[in-house]
Amino acid sequence: MTPDTTSAIDKQSHRPVAQVAFVIGIVASIFNSACASHRGADEQAWVDFATISQSVSRSGAAPGESPVGWRLWWTADEIYDGAGPTKPSLEKHGGLATSFRPLKCEYETEVANPGVMTADGQPQCEAIFINEAASNFIFERELWNRNKLIEAAKEGKVHFPADKKVSRQIKTEWRRVQSQRAAKYIVAAASDGQLYGLVAIHLMSHELPDWLWATWLHEDFAFMMPPAIGFHDAFGAKADGASSPALTSLLASHGASRLLHYKLIGTQHDFVDPSALGNPLIEGRDTDTLANSSCMACHRFAAISSNGSMTKPRVSTGFAKLPDGFFPVDFSFSLARRAVCQDAVGCNAAYELH
């Protein structure tokens, strides 16, 4: 494992120099403890998950919903709704909604083989949530407007805040949940009136310049994880897979003990040579796909060209070079994919095959 402060990484990423000193402190604290086992990164991921899931006022929440704080984050669907003129109404609330909105299910867009997602016979339901720091960054620079995004990306200025206000984005996967099982899930009420349980979650958190990446699976779906790949949690799981006392007390101290029903699959932070990390309910459950999926190796291709076109997401591990003429947008795929051309001149949003 290469700590995230080598010159190789500095060359590849596009972070402002001022961030580096801050980052070295964080990286040192993450890596000082047992580097080989990722304990520090795994612990940080759990701290993040517990922190963002702390209870908030239930304003607007339906009966049975879990009042987790991140339900007040704007969703990608809300931010990039395609209609420029509606944006000021969202922006005037600031980076955070004041009440719960019904969960709006979207279909999986990332997976190479969408068929695997419905193997359990339930409708797909996915939503991306973007925290206050990241939403404000998008609003202040009007990056939901693809024309503005192109300019910012060309100037190398798409860097979500990573200092005191840490940007975070999560991708959540939901399935209908029976009321007798609901106590074991984070529950949301969808616009169809049904209760859904959180079954899988991806987190990217900007404590690190190239984000800290983590993914969890609900214990009821742990059987989907191919044994050859398994779970790797040096902080939260004991050797037999049960929750560690450290995790139990961390979650209790955040009032987030329900998260004990979620299993950390693993974390990732090495951008130079990213290894495999994926979630069977998001990337796909077959061993080959999971063995070749890598958060950072794929999100590296969150980039746009000077006419707004995108690169294709890729299922691969290891470092890969961005094609010439593409400018990174800080690993944020929803930004690269969903920002909408407001002025069609010189702006398109199609994929380019490379």
Report strand pairing: 126-130 vs 74-75: antiparallel
CB contact set of 146 (below 8 Å; sequence gap of 6+) = 304, 308, 339, 340, 341, 342, 347, 349
> Rule CB under 6 A: is residue 202 a binding residue for ligand HEC?
yes
Piece in contact with ligand HEC (CB under 6 A), picked from 59-67, 249-257, 321-329, 331-339: 331-339
> Rule CB under 6 A: is residue 128 a binding residue for ligand HEC?
yes
Site string for ligand HEC, 275-294 (x = CB under 6 A): --xxx---x---------xx
Q: Which is nearer to ligand HEC, 61 or 146 (CB)?
A: 146
> Rule CB under 6 A: is residue 206 a binding residue for ligand HEC?
no
Gyration radius (Cα) of the chain, Å: 19
**140, 92 contact by CB (below 8 A):** no
> Rule CB under 6 A: is residue 310 a binding residue for ligand HEC?
no
Alpha-carbon gap, residue 39 to 145, rounded angstroms: 39
DSSP state of 68: B
Q: Which is nearer to ligand HEC, 250 or 339 (CB)?
A: 339
Site string for ligand HEC, 224-243 (x = CB under 6 A): --------------------
Q: Which is nearer to ligand HEC, 110 or 207 (CB)?
A: 110
Alpha-carbon gap, residue 51 to 91, rounded angstroms: 24
Alpha-carbon gap, residue 179 to 88, rounded angstroms: 38
> Rule CB under 6 A: is residue 315 a binding residue for ligand HEC?
yes
Piece in contact with ligand HEC (CB under 6 A), picked from 46-54, 94-102, 168-176, 242-250: 168-176
Q: Which is nearer to ligand HEC, 58 or 165 (CB)?
A: 165
Total residues binding ligand HEC (CB under 6 A): 29
User: What do you get for the CA distance between the two ends of the chain, in Å?
Assistant: 29
Alpha-carbon gap, residue 265 to 38, rounded angstroms: 12
Question: Which residue type occupies 200?
Answer: A
Site residues (CB under 6 A) for ligand HEC? 76, 109-110, 128, 169-171, 202-204, 213, 215, 277-279, 283, 293-295, 298-299, 313-315, 332-334, 337-338
